[in-house]
Amino acid sequence: MARGPRWQDPSGRKVLQTIVKKVLPWIDGLRPVQEDLVAPILDGEDILCCTAIGDGKSAAFSVPILVLNEYNANKHLYPPHLPTCLHPVGLIVTPTKGLANNIVSLM
C-alpha cells in the first residue's frame, strides 16, 4: 500500500528545516533530537519525551504549530500533500506550578 509524503521522510525533513529557519530566524535550526521529536508530531504521531531541563523539549510543542501555520499559509512554496491540519493546537502538561509559570512567561 502506497503512502503519501511524510515529514519524517528526507524531503519532509528538508521542508521542516527550511520552515524553521524562516519562522525562527534567530536560531540555526533544530538540533537532531528536536527534529526527531517534531517530525513524527507533524506526521500525526503521539510522542512521549522525558529529558532534562534545557534539552529543548519546548520545541516539541511549539515548533509543529509554527511549521503548520507557515505551511498552510504558503502552500505554493512547499511540496504538496505533507500531513497538515488547519488549526493546530498544542497541549502542555507540566508537573509543577513553577515550571508552568516559566512556560507562560516565555510565551
Residue span of the structural domain in which 50 resides: 10-106
Cβ partners under 8 Å of residue 39, min gap 6: 6, 7, 8, 12, 13, 16
> In the structure, what pLDDT confidence band is assigned to residue 3 with cuts at 50, 70 and 90?
confident
Once rounded to an integer, what is the mean pLDDT over residues 62-71? 94
In a domain, 4, yes or no: no
Domain count, the chain: 1
pTM score = 0.80
In a domain, 2, yes or no: no
In a domain, 5, yes or no: no
In this predicted structure, the answer to whether residue 74 has a pLDDT above a threshold of 90 is: yes
**pLDDT digit string, tens, across residues 31-54:** 888 999 999 999 999 888 887 878
In a domain, 60, yes or no: yes
In a domain, 3, yes or no: no
Q: Quick one: pLDDT at residue 43?
A: 95
